[in-house]
Amino acid sequence: MGFCKLVIALGGNALQEAGAPATAEAQLEVVKKTCEYIADISCKGYEIAIVHGNGPQVGRILMASKAAENITPPMPFDVCGSMSQGYIGYHIQQSLRRALDKRNKKVPVVTLITQAVVDKDDPAFKNPTKPIGAFYTKEEADKLKTEKGYVMKDDSGRGWRRVVASPVPKRIVELPAVKVLWDSTICVAAGGGGIPVVEQEDGSLKGVAAVIDKDLAAERLAEDMNADILMILTEVEKAAINFNKPNQVDLGHITVAEAEKYMGEGHFAAGSMLPKIEAAVMFAKANPSHKAIITSLYKAVDALEDKTGTIITLNK
């Protein structure tokens, strides 16, 4: 196999284990296992970049900052996002370097603190939907609305939480650096979807309180790098229609048109599989030679060999 450019989007289960303590130490142990699979992919000759989520992590950073506000000023949301990129990237760098060393592959691994430009007029800003941070009572939520200008919503009857927008990433600011490093280095980039920033009139960038979907950020990176494959790793081996119903059908190799049909029929959950299918379709549409794969971490190598996974291409 010749060199093949691959962008990997890591799902939450690649960083944290369900039921495990929410500590940095527990996360590192999961990341060590995850990186064994990524090292196997690298050793098969793929040139890779890694994108990861950060939902639980950035939430904990926010809550820690809030809890300590009587001692030190709370950090703004965009700064918390950058902090999560740094420590998750550090865990991946350390673990992947160790896994590659065991396989006698000498390639550097580096994390880029990555900004993603979003449109200040993105419709998502008018309808924030992503809950972040702690739960509050109705009275506390009303106070935060008044004092901080936060948008607060009831979260399934469990309490009130701050919600932020989930805009579409338009441009990855550090893309030129990824291009320079690509041939020699495994880059961890656009962590948590990237730090959302908007362009000011003078051309400068300003961080905003928002969460970019990491699958869409991975698609943006893959498309801009002209990668051959976008691989989105999640908890299931294949996407499915009629999920969790008696007539569930696991999807193998499907076309963009088929995927769009299934999306239109409402087969994919908005907070779960839908953004993965959307990202896969966007990538496959961009170039007839592109391939998008949705599968589990444990089946990643098999999926790259067309043995499993949901594979989406423009044509059969």
Are 289 and 283 contacting, i.e. CB atoms less than 8 angstroms apart? no
Alpha-carbon span 97 to 178, nearest angstrom: 18
Are 177 and 110 contacting, i.e. CB atoms less than 8 angstroms apart? no
What's at 209, amino acid-wise? A
pLDDT, one tens digit per residue, over 189-248 is 999 999 999 999 999 999 999 999 999 999 999 999 999 999 999 999 999 999 989 999
Are 237 and 299 contacting, i.e. CB atoms less than 8 angstroms apart? yes
User: Nearest-CA neighbor of 279 among 231, 216, 237, 230?
Assistant: 216
Please report the pLDDT score of residue 22 as a whole number: 83
- Half-sphere CA count of 18, side-chain side, radius 13 A: 3
10 φ, ψ (degrees, to nearest 5): -90, 130
Q: Is the pLDDT of residue 270 over 90?
A: no
Instruction: Pick the range with the lowest mean pLDDT from 14-23, 28-37, 184-193.
Output: 14-23
Q: Is the pLDDT of residue 1 over 60?
A: no
pLDDT, one tens digit per residue, over 150-187 is 899 988 788 898 889 999 999 999 999 999 999 999 99
Instruction: Give the C-alpha distances (Å, rounded to integers) separating 242 from 139, 212, 235, 245, 249.
Output: 41, 27, 17, 6, 7
pLDDT, one tens digit per residue, over 82-109 is 999 999 999 999 999 999 999 999 999 9
Q: Is the pTM of this model over 0.95?
A: no
Looking at every residue in the chain, the average pLDDT score rounds to 93
The two beta strands, 240-241 and 249-250, are antiparallel
pLDDT, one tens digit per residue, over 273-305 is 999 999 999 999 999 999 999 999 999 999 999
Looking at per-residue confidence, does 312 or 15 come out higher?
312
What residues are annotated to the active site? 12-13, 130, 214, 276
Secondary structure of 269-307 in HEC code, one letter for each residue: CCCCCHHHHHHHHHHHHHCCCCEEEEEEHHHHHHHHCCC
Please report the pLDDT score of residue 173 as a whole number: 98
Alpha-carbon span 95 to 91, nearest angstrom: 6
Are 67 and 25 contacting, i.e. CB atoms less than 8 angstroms apart? no
CA angle 200, 60, 77 (to 5 degrees): 10
Q: Is the pLDDT of residue 135 over 90?
A: no
Please report the pLDDT score of residue 132 as a whole number: 82
The count of residues in the chain is 316
Residue 218 belongs to what H/E stretch?
A: helix 214-224
Which tokens in the block code for residue 93? 């760098």
Q: Is the pLDDT of residue 55 over 90?
A: no
Give the percent of the chain with pLDDT over 90: 78
User: Nearest-CA neighbor of 59 among 131, 130, 132?
Assistant: 132
Alpha-carbon span 289 to 279, nearest angstrom: 16
Please report the pLDDT score of residue 73 as a whole number: 92
Give the percent of the chain with pLDDT over 70: 99
Please report the pLDDT score of residue 156 as a whole number: 76
- Number of CB atoms found within 10 A of residue 21's CB: 10
- Number of CB atoms found within 10 A of residue 197's CB: 20
Are 15 and 29 contacting, i.e. CB atoms less than 8 angstroms apart? no
